């Protein structure tokens, strides 16, 4: 037992040690095979659990494949057995937590676990402690149950979160288990931080489902306790809770309206100022989802609460994810013509400065592509167009990217040009003439011969605007 415990500690999140252990021979037998023998039902429970941990940790460290028989046919079923009513509460906690860790990254293992021994229903039993019967009969037993009640709930939430991480049918099964949504919502306001965190993780996992966001999440007004959790939680809870808020703010989610009304904009703008990059990303990501196809009032609220200074601070953030999501937010704010004109009339100068800085900076293709798409949106405005047409520096940059070696950037620059020269719009003749003088038409002719069919079509379409 001592040797087993030692191996489990050594192998945990340690690829180097795990790779070594896999090939160790003991009396001509490989170490993992010895662990498998120790999983058998006739061995002491502690031995079964600890060997299952060793194999789990070696698997998570990449030393044993997730589809290896010793995982699928031995370790996983052993851990499910540990979750059953026959086991002691401590064993059930350890079994569920280890199983949650084993299946977390692998959808196939999640599917297998979900149909082994009615695991999903078996976990519902974790919420029934302390039971009313034990209260009457046995004070000592009640004390023991109370002590483990938190741990049991935490373990069940963790395992549900892992089970539901990827598969839509499994999520549905979890949510349809007796009172499950009520239990998770109750978990959000528990005194124990660990239980709260596990409940938020569980909800976050389930919130990846469009179907559930539209139904169960709405029926149980999950957004209310979630907004409460976001008020003053420790960072580890904030990161998961704000990730979940991003999902609840997607445009098809019915929770979007009430969340907006309960002061989410200020809360999220606050997160973008966090020291923690994960919180900055989630804050800006949620605002980006909120701005998608939103009405003018919401967009104005976001801009006012965030402030242009903060927007530009985020555009020079050292974290690439923050930068990408901030560009996504700008792109969503600058969509539909009246909105584009309105925002550019008040913030145009600063936005054009930011765009210039990014196009001049040392940024990757994706960042520059997003930035050119923002320019294309501005070029789609009625009055906003002038901010591009009167800015020779920006026009030269668009011209430069039309001849870039990367097709994505060429296409994005083409969108800008197409929006500027579109015939039906007022002033298109002057814009066409100015761009012709800059040599844009020559580039369009060149691009219409491009081997890339998409680019070639767009260039031909643009040239037709000149002929019309």
> Is position 382 within any domain?
yes
Q: Whole-prediction pTM value? A: 0.82
Q: What is the pLDDT of residue 208?
A: 87
Q: What is the pLDDT of residue 128?
A: 87
Check whether the bond before 130 is cis (ω within 30° of 0).
Answer: yes
Looking at residue 398, which CATH number applies to its domain? 1.25.10.10
Along the 468 residues of the chain, how does pLDDT read in single tens digits? 999 999 999 999 999 999 999 999 999 999 999 999 999 999 999 999 999 999 999 999 999 999 999 999 999 999 999 999 999 999 999 999 999 999 999 999 999 999 999 999 999 999 988 766 554 566 777 777 777 899 999 999 999 999 999 999 999 999 999 888 999 999 998 888 999 999 999 999 998 888 888 888 888 888 888 898 888 889 999 999 999 999 888 877 788 888 888 889 999 999 999 999 999 999 999 999 999 989 989 999 999 999 989 998 999 898 999 999 999 999 999 998 999 999 999 999 989 999 999 999 889 999 999 999 999 999 999 999 999 999 999 999 999 999 999 999 999 999 999 999 887 788 888 899 899 899 998 999 999 998 999 889 999 998 888 876
> Is position 396 within any domain?
yes
Count of structural domains, the chain: 2
> Is position 371 within any domain?
yes
The residue segments making up the domain with residue 65 are 1-73
> Is position 100 within any domain?
no
> Is position 404 within any domain?
yes
Q: Is the dihedral of CA 172, 178, 180, 181 positive or negative?
A: positive
Side-chain half-sphere of 381: how many Cα atoms within 13 Å? 24
| Domain-terminating residue out of 16, 45, 73 | 73
| Domain-terminating residue out of 73, 88, 115 | 73
> Is position 359 within any domain?
yes
Residue 1 DSSP one-character state: -
Question: Tokens 């145009």 correspond to what residue?
Answer: 348
> Is position 187 within any domain?
no
Side-chain half-sphere of 9: how many Cα atoms within 13 Å? 6
Q: What is the pLDDT of residue 129?
A: 81
> Is position 459 within any domain?
yes
Long-range pairs of 142-146 with CB within 8 A, sequence gap ≥ 24: 144/89, 145/89
Q: Is the dihedral of CA 107, 112, 115, 117 positive or negative?
A: negative
Contact 394, 355 (CB under 8 A): yes
Q: Going by C-beta distance under 8 Å and a sequence separation of 6 or more, which residues neighbour residue 172?
A: 209, 211, 212
Share of the chain residues as helix, strand and coil, in percent rounded to the nearest 5: 75, 0, 25
| Domain-terminating residue out of 73, 102, 132 | 73
Cα gap 378→99, rounded to integer Å: 51
């Amino acid at each position: 037992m001592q040797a087993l415990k030692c191996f489990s500690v050594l192998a945990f999140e340690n690829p180097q040690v795990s790779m070594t252990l896999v090939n160790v021979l003991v009396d001509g037998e490989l170490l993992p095979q010895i662990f498998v023998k120790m999983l058998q039902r006739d061995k002491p429970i502690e031995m079964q659990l600890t060997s299952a941990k060793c194999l789990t940790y070696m698997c998570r460290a990449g030393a044993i494949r997730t589809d290896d028989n010793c995982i699928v046919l031995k370790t996983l079923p052993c851990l499910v057995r540990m979750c059953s009513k026959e086991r002691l509460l401590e064993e059930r906690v350890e079994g569920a937590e280890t199983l949650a860790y084993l299946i977390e990254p692998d959808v196939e293992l999640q599917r297998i676990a979900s149909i082994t021994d009615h695991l999903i229903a078996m976990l519902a039993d974790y919420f029934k402690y302390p039971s009313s019967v034990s209260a009457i009969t046995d004070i000592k037993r009640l004390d023991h149950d109370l002590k483990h009640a938190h741990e049991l709930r935490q373990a069940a939430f963790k395992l549900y979160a892992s089970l539901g991480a990827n598969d839509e049918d499994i999520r549905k099964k979890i949510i349809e288990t007796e009172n499950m949504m009520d239990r998770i919502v109750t978990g959000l306001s528990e005194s124990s931080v660990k239980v709260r965190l596990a409940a938020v993780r569980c909800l976050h996992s389930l919130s990846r489902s469009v179907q559930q966001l539209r139904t169960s999440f709405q029926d149980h007004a999950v957004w209310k306790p979630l907004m409460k959790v976001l008020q003053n939680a420790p960072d580890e809870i904030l990161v998961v809770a704000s990730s979940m808020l991003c999902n609840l703010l997607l445009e098809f989610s019915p929770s979007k309206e009430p969340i907006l009304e309960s002061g989410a904009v200020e809360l999220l703008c606050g997160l973008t100022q966090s020291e923690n990059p994960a919180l900055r990303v989630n804050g800006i990501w949620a605002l980006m989802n909120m701005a998608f196809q939103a009405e003018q009032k919401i967009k104005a609220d976001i801009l006012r609460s965030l402030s242009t200074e903060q927007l530009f601070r985020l555009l020079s953030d050292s974290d690439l994810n923050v930068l990408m999501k901030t560009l996504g937010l700008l792109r969503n704010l600058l969509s539909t013509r009246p909105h584009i004109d309105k925002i550019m009339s008040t913030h145009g100068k600063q936005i054009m400065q930011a765009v210039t800085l990014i196009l001049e900076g040392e940024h990757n293709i994706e960042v520059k592509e997003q930035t050119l798409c923002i320019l294309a949106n501005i070029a789609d405005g009625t009055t906003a167009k002038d901010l591009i047409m009167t800015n020779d520096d920006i026009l030269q940059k668009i011209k430069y990217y039309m001849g870039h070696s990367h097709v994505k950037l060429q296409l994005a620059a083409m969108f800008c040009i197409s929006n500027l020269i579109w015939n039906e719009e007022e002033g298109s003749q002057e814009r066409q003439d100015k761009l012709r003088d800059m040599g844009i038409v020559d580039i369009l002719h060149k691009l219409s011969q491009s081997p890339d069919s998409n680019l070639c079509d767009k260039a031909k379409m643009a040239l037709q605007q000149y002929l019309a």
